[in-house]
């Protein structure tokens, strides 16, 4: 007898292809359905069809940054409730100041471990319900 397990949908937006693929594979092994985009613009396009429950995003990316994508997602009624988790390799205080200015208070710094990410996803999903 097979149980129907509802996979939680995560959109991963990161321009570092190797990191994105590794994180996708790790989250998939832990029963997340993961879709990958390589910049904020592609992320916005995937949101419409994939309908993620959580977005994990890098901050600095080509075409559209993670923060710019965040602002666009939060400005649209049907997507405003999607929680974000930001991950960045930058240690710059200006990045953190910009994050606070637009209402982002949680940024994980690379390198991160999968357990840390999964705990944050669970917290975001719990606070969303």
Distance of CA 125 to the CA centre of its chain: 12
What is the DSSP track for 50-73?
A: H--SEEEEESS-SSS-HHHHHHHH
* pLDDT for res 129: 62
Q: What are the pLDDT digits (tens) for 46-78?
A: 999 999 999 999 998 999 999 999 999 999 999
User: Sheet of 8-13: strands edge to edge?
Assistant: 32-37, 8-13, 54-58, 84-88, 107-109
């Amino acid at each position: 007898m097979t149980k129907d397990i509802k996979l939680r949908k995560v959109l991963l937006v990161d321009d570092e292809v190797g990191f994105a693929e590794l994180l996708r594979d790790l989250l998939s092994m832990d029963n997340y359905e993961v879709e990958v985009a390589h910049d904020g613009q592609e992320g916005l396009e995937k949101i419409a069809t994939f309908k993620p429950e959580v977005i994990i995003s890098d901050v600095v990316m080509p075409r559209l940054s993670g923060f710019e994508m965040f602002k666009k997602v939060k400005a649209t009624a049907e997507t405003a409730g999607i929680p974000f988790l930001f991950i960045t390799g930058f240690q710059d205080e200006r990045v953190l100041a910009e994050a606070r200015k637009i209402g982002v208070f949680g940024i994980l710094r690379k390198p991160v471990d999968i357990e840390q990410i999964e705990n944050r996803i669970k917290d975001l999903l719990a606070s969303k319900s």
